[in-house]
Amino acid sequence: MPSRLLPRLNLPGLLTLVIVVLAWELAIRGGSVQYEYLPAPSAIAVGMAELIRSGQLAADTLHTLRSVLLGWTAAMVIGVTLGLWLGSSPLVRRYSLATIEMLRPMPGIAFVPVALLLFGFSLETELMVIILPALWPVLINTMGGVMGIHARLFEVGRTFRLPRGEIIRKLLLPAALPAILVGARISMTLALVLAVVAEMVGNPNGLGYAIVREQQALQPEKMFADVVAIGVLGIVLNSALVSAVAAFFPAASGRLREAG
């Protein structure tokens, strides 16, 4: 959607970016910055080109993208299911909310050593580290969305004698959708952060590991190129989600943008 993106590409903003990059380049070339491992932007571009040519960047990006999507999808399925259940039953809520509040603030990275014990250096480790923390925003938002549904909607369902599956599919899900999508977006951002973390210390693959690999190989140009690639991946994932929501659920997209 160029019409929505264009006003954000402001001229002073772009100019600032150019000036910052130029100043950085000049500072390195002129020797006024004395960091041994701080490459100039041009060197980073060369490193990026090398990574692209060797196919390394594509392979690393693909791995990270796949892990993020797998983990995020699993988190969505589990989170929405549990969220619907908790949202529609006060009894279940009463006997589990404190457990959720206890587990939710657990920092995702703390699962890395446990996952390593269970699965070793593998994709399973990475997925466990992604799914467990990425679950909560979806669960909490779905639950909140269902709890916000007007009681009359349930009565309508009962009047029409809709079976349970129909009530969930035709009443609960559509009504809670805007809230679920907000959770989905937060969860997506979280999944990328956790994928990078997991790749650094749990699963030696993907862009997260690439950064550590280039750091240990003392290849700062390639390391910076990988960092930029992760930033771009994050922006692409986020705008892909927002555009997908705008295309498929236009009614729910307003709140999503507000939440951004």
Interaction between residue 102 and other proteins (CB under 8 A): yes
Q: Is 258 exposed, middle or buried (0-12, 13-18, 19+ CB in 10 A)?
A: exposed
- The token pair that represents 68 in the structure block: 């993020």
CA distances from 218 to 46, 175, 212, 215 (A): 15, 53, 10, 5
Helices 11-30/41-54 angle, 10° precision = 100
Interaction between residue 114 and other proteins (CB under 8 A): yes
Q: Smaller CB distance to other proteins: residue 175 or 259?
A: 259
Other Cβ atoms less than 10 A from the Cβ of 13: the count is: 10
Binding mask 236-255 for other proteins (x = CB under 8 A): --x-----------------
Interface pick for other proteins out of 197, 225, 252, 256 (rule CB under 8 A) = 197
Give the span between the Cα atoms of 120 and 131, in whole angstroms. Answer: 17
Interaction between residue 101 and other proteins (CB under 8 A): yes
Q: Smaller CB distance to other proteins: residue 142 or 167?
A: 142
Residue 52 CB, shortest distance to other proteins, in Å, is 18
Where on the chain is the footprint of other proteins (CB under 8 A)? 8-10, 12-17, 20, 35, 37-38, 93-114, 116-118, 192-193, 196-197, 200-201, 207-208, 211-212, 214-215, 218, 220, 223-224, 226-228, 230-232, 234-235, 238
